Amino acid sequence: MADAALRFLHYAVLLGLFGATAYRVIGFRGTAWAGLGQRPAGWIVAAVAAPLISTALQLSSIAAMMGTPIGDLDRAIVEAMVLGTSLGWAFLIRLALLLAGLIALLASRRGIAALCYAGALLTLGWSGHAAATEGALGLAHRMNNGGHLIAAGLWMGAIGWFWTLTRRARRPGAPFAPAALLSVMHGFAPLGVVLVGAVALTGIVNAQLIFGLANAPQVLPTAYGILLALKVGLVLAMMSFGAHNAMLGRRQATQSPTQIRTEADPTDLEVVLAALRKSLASEFALGIAVIGLVAVLGMLSPMTMG
């Protein structure tokens, strides 16, 4: 249970840091009204926690491999596992990237921070199921896994940002017009389709590389298969919420990307924003549940050996 909790925190923090920083750079370029400060406190707290969580998870993994309590690990064993294995070197690279990301955030260099956190996500391919594939195919598996996480992180980052902004839009003196926010959300639709497609495609490739799609009938009755099916179901539910959000945004979107429809009824806009807040909150909650399932799935075998 403790290992699963650590894995969940690890994935959640890394995906959150990447998604928040990357989408702020990509999605809001040229829209200064959407700025929420140069160094949001929550980002800094997460950035400080990330290397600590990663270190704790690495020590927990070493203890599990050695079959000993984490408190009984000695320095020689830890050094040998960190410096003598690909898992250990991936951890060291990830740790360096996380520290660099923290420094970049403190310096308000969000683009550099996003690149650091993207690199940290790529290193996760050297643990879990992707690490079991060897040779050139193994490298392809790890890169595919990294692409899956990057697309998912950017998707979650967009959801988180839009949920935050729809909540801010209801406050007096919001720094942006609701119509402008809806226009930006409508403009996200093409990128959203690309991200969802990337998540789906890389997920299918991962499944093929982990257990082989032809073996799905044997995998589905296992604990791994049941949780994987639940994960797919939750992702499909997220996609339905995303489609609903796009429909709401499209109804109020400007006809021209250079104009804002100022004549829109404020009451109508507030109804749309209220609906979007609820939909985005549901979509984000489903995303958190998916991350929890990913944390557990990485600890299970996809096949029951008998």
What would the pLDDT profile of 187-203 be if each residue is shown by its tens digit? Answer: 788 888 899 999 999 99
DSSP 116-181: HHHHHHHHGGGSGGGGGS-HHHHHHHHHHHHHHHHHHHHHHHHHHHHHHHHHHTTSTT-SS-HHHH
* Assigned token pair, 66: 């050695």
Which of 225, 215, 216 is closest to 293 using CA atoms?
225
258 burial (CB, 10 Å; 0-12 / 13-18 / 19+) is exposed
Exposed, middle or buried by CB within 10 Å (0-12, 13-18, 19+), for 298?
Answer: middle
What secondary structure letter does DSSP report for 134?
-
Helix (H/G/I), strand (E/B), else coil: 125: helix
Highest mean pLDDT among 30-39, 57-66, 81-90, 228-237: 228-237
Name residues whose C-beta falls within 8 Å of residue 245's C-beta, 6 or more positions apart in sequence: 162, 185, 276, 279, 280, 283
Q: Which two structure tokens, joined as six digits, stand for 267? A: 């009451």
The structure tokens listed for 295 are 């944390």
Torsion of CA 93, 94, 99, 100, to 10 degrees: 70
The whole-angstrom separation of Cα 102 and Cα 39 is 11
- Domain limits of the chain? 2-297
Return the structure tokens found at 262: 């100022």
- Reported as a single tens digit per residue, the pLDDT across 137-185 is 888 999 999 999 999 999 999 999 899 888 887 777 666 677 777 877 8
pTM of structure:
0.88
Assess whether pLDDT exceeds 50 at residue 227: yes
